[in-house]
């Protein structure tokens, strides 16, 4: 049996790093971890190939080779998914599909031959058993969650790691919190399920064996869902692993209560973590209460961020505007918070309601779902009818992005961060690729870029004040260039084309 695993193309988004990749000579940010894991779950004797549309073209010859095409996709890849399915239909190739997009909206894909929903560890074996019997069904769906201890390591040999900016690895699924807008608990539940320490070390060894000496993203939605296991088992093992394996640096996502645990912070830094994405969402207590972000309430959020910075972990922050409780003053409050926090990588989005979330249910009941969910937090759209009115929200949102990604404010924020960030323990080697990226940054940002004054000001400031952070200063300058381009693409331009007219006319009075 010939199996072609196809990963749909990402549009240019905040997280695609598309405008940063050319600086480092890579084609995509991350490999398709889900499909690489699916490959390991398929029978060993089947022939498998993988085409990631983010690094190469999908040719008709690839499709005609396959007896079955496997697709996995997130909502943001929807457009590419539709194109791939159309091509498969035209060539009469059977398609099996799974992943978040298909699991949350299976009814939108009647043309897919086999929908393998929920966690593949549970549904894929059912599909494979039916294939053996010669009678595969249209939809495979289960309640409940799998035991990650039986998940095999991804089949890394199906990709060329040199195409990617970072590798990825999954330790846990599920989150103990229950934020109203978040679909993580819908997909994976509220009880964090973990791989064993042995599984993670095996996966790290396999990535290391490919020659990888660069960033590795722990994709967990909340890495610290089980802090005791981290402190007593996984982190000590990774600290030990690093003793004779240099050159890899980790980053992940966590909840803000990471700031409350100095021992955990210290161990993460020693294990080689250098940054963490945290959903801050809002500096406004009412908005945090509304979205059930209880872990962010009744605390000094600014001080929590700074405590994490002082430990040696850079905080990347997620922010949302458009909550029912938000007043027009929220826009300036968000700007002030972001600037003071020194969070250089600030992903600000308008509130969206992913299908399957409690927010989607609530707003459906209030007739406030206006369009489909794009899956991109920073594309200047929302699928909800905001209480403050869409025009107010859009104008305020646009003003935040213009403010925080103006070169002056962005580079000022980077300086705030570098002033407070403890120099991380783990560093990546200064290889040819990194030297070239520094050279390209000097040319494109320092000579040709509109921000050249700010760029050189930051370089000289860092050289004299925080020389150990020079590499990070260059990296953040490149990221800043990417974020500005994304803002120009989606947010600074006229919004009419990106919005649904029916949204504009509706304003719900408070």
Whole-angstrom distance, CA of residue 219 vs CA of residue 281:
19
Number of residues that bind ligand SF4 (CB under 6 A): 11
Q: Does 42 bind ligand SF4 (CB under 6 A)?
A: no
Which stretch, 154-162, 182-190, 403-411, 445-453, contacts ligand SF4 (CB under 6 A)?
182-190
Site for ligand SF4 in 451-510 (CB under 6 A): none
Nearer Cβ to ligand SF4 (374/503): 374
Q: Show Cβ contacts of residue 508 under 8 Å, excluding neighbours closer than 6 positions.
A: 368, 385, 386, 387, 389
| 99, 106, 243, 328, 334 from 372: Cα distances, Å | 18, 14, 48, 26, 26
Q: How far is the CB of 292 from ligand SF4 (least distance, A)?
A: 8
Query: Per-residue x/- mask for ligand SF4, residues 139 to 178, rule CB under 6 A?
Result: ------------------------------------x-xx
Q: How far is the CB of 279 from ligand SF4 (least distance, A)?
A: 5
The angle formed by the CA atoms of residues 132, 138 and 143, to the nearest 5 degrees, is 95
The SS3 call for residue 297 is coil
Task: Please state the three-class secondary structure of 415-452 as a single string.
Answer: HHHHHHCCCCCCCCCCCHHHHHHHHHHHHHHHHHCCCH
The SS3 call for residue 246 is coil
Q: How far is the CB of 462 from ligand SF4 (least distance, A)?
A: 32
**Per-residue DSSP letters for 123-166?**
HHHHHHHHHHHT---SEE--SS---GGGPPPP-GGGS-GGGBSE
Cβ atoms of residues 208 and 248 within 8 Å: yes
Helix axis angle, 301-311 relative to 262-271, nearest 10°?
40
Nearer Cβ to ligand SF4 (40/178): 178
Q: How far is the CB of 489 from ligand SF4 (least distance, A)?
A: 26
Spatial CA neighbour of 79 closest among 181, 159, 11, 6: 11
Q: Does 184 bind ligand SF4 (CB under 6 A)?
A: yes
Report which DSSP code applies to 491.
Answer: I
The SS3 call for residue 196 is coil
φ and ψ at residue 226, rounded to 5 degrees = -130, 90
Site for ligand SF4 in 233-292 (CB under 6 A): 255, 279
Q: Show Cβ contacts of residue 71 under 8 Å, excluding neighbours closer than 6 positions.
A: 6, 8, 81, 84, 85, 95, 96, 97, 98, 99, 102, 112
Query: Per-residue x/- mask for ligand SF4, residues 74 to 93, rule CB under 6 A?
Result: --------------------
Q: Does 185 bind ligand SF4 (CB under 6 A)?
A: yes
Which stretch, 148-156, 181-189, 197-205, 320-328, contacts ligand SF4 (CB under 6 A)?
181-189
Q: Does 221 bind ligand SF4 (CB under 6 A)?
A: yes
Q: Does 222 bind ligand SF4 (CB under 6 A)?
A: yes
Paired tokens of 93: 């190739």
| CA neighbours closer than 13 Å in the CB half-sphere of residue 202 | 13
Q: How far is the CB of 62 from ligand SF4 (least distance, A)?
A: 35
Nearer Cβ to ligand SF4 (253/403): 253
Nearer Cβ to ligand SF4 (358/482): 358
Nearer Cβ to ligand SF4 (318/407): 318
Paired tokens of 254: 């966590």
Spatial CA neighbour of 437 closest among 10, 14, 21, 19: 21
Q: Look at the alpha carbons of 283, 284, 290, 296 in this order and tell me if their dihedral is positive or negative.
A: positive
Nearer Cβ to ligand SF4 (42/276): 276
Whole-angstrom distance, CA of residue 370 vs CA of residue 249:
41
Q: How far is the CB of 264 from ligand SF4 (least distance, A)?
A: 16
Nearer Cβ to ligand SF4 (52/376): 376
Q: How far is the CB of 256 from ligand SF4 (least distance, A)?
A: 8
Nearer Cβ to ligand SF4 (221/451): 221
Q: Does 95 bind ligand SF4 (CB under 6 A)?
A: no
Nearer Cβ to ligand SF4 (187/490): 187
Whole-angstrom distance, CA of residue 383 vs CA of residue 369:
6
Q: How far is the CB of 339 from ligand SF4 (least distance, A)?
A: 23
Query: Per-residue x/- mask for ligand SF4, residues 316 to 335, rule CB under 6 A?
Result: --------------------
Nearer Cβ to ligand SF4 (318/446): 318
Nearer Cβ to ligand SF4 (178/409): 178
Site for ligand SF4 in 365-384 (CB under 6 A): none
Nearer Cβ to ligand SF4 (292/500): 292
Binding site for ligand SF4 (CB under 6 A): 175, 177-179, 182, 184-185, 221-222, 255, 279
């Amino acid at each position: 049996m010939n199996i072609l695993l196809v990963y749909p193309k990402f549009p240019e988004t905040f997280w695609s790093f598309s405008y940063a990749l050319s600086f480092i000579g890579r084609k995509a940010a991350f490999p398709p971890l889900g499909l690489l894991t699916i490959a390991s779950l398929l029978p060993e004797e089947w022939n498998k190939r993988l085409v990631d549309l983010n690094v190469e073209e999908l040719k008709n010859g690839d499709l005609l080779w396959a007896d079955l095409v496997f697709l996995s996709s997130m909502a943001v890849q929807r457009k590419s998914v539709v194109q791939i399915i159309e091509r498969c239909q035209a060539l009469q190739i059977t398609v099996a599909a799974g992943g978040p997009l298909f699991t949350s909206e299976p009814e939108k894909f009647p043309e897919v031959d086999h929908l393998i929903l929920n966690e593949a560890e549970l549904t894929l074996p059912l599909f494979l058993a039916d294939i053996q019997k010669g009678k595969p069904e249209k939809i495979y769906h289960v309640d409940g969650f799998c035991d990650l201890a039986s998940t095999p390591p991804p089949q890394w040999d199906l990709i060329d790691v040199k195409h990617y900016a970072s590798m990825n690895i999954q330790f846990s699924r599920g989150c103990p919190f229950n934020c109203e807008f978040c679909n993580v608990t819908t997909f994976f539940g509220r009880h964090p399920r973990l791989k064993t320490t042995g599984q993670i070390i095996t996966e790290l060894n396999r990535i290391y064996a490919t020659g990888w000496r660069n960033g590795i993203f722990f994709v967990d939605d909340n890495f610290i869902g089980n802090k005791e296991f981290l402190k007593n088992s996984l982190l000590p093992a990774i600290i030990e692993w690093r003793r004779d394996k240099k050159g890899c640096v980790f980053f992940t996502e966590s909840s803000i209560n990471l700031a409350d645990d100095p021992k955990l912070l210290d161990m993460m830094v020693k294990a080689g973590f250098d940054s963490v994405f945290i959903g801050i969402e809002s500096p406004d207590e009412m908005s945090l209460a509304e979205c059930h972000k209880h872990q962010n309430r009744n605390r000094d959020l600014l001080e929590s961020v700074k405590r994490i910075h002082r430990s040696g972990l850079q905080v990347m922050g997620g922010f949302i505007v458009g909550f029912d409780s938000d007043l027009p003053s929220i826009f300036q409050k968000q700007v002030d918070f972001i600037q003071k926090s020194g969070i250089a990588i600030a992903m600000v989005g308008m509130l969206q309601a992913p299908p399957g979330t409690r927010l989607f249910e609530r707003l459906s009941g209030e007739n406030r779902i206006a369009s489909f969910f794009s899956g991109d937090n920073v594309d200047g759209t929302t699928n909800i009818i905001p209480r403050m009115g869409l025009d107010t929200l859009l104008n305020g949102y646009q003003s935040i992005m213009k403010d925080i990604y103006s070169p002056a404010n962005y580079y000022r924020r980077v300086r705030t961060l570098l002033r407070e960030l403890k120099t991380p323990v783990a560093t990546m080697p200064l290889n040819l690729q990194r030297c070239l990226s520094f050279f390209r940054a000097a040319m494109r940002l320092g000579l040709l870029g509109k921000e050249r004054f700010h760029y050189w000001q930051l370089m000289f400031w860092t050289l004299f004040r925080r020389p150990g952070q020079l590499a990070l200063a260059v990296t953040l300058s490149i990221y800043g260039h990417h974020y500005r381009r994304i803002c120009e693409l989606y947010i600074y331009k006229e919004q009419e084309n990106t919005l649904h007219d029916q949204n504009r006319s509706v304003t719900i009075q408070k």
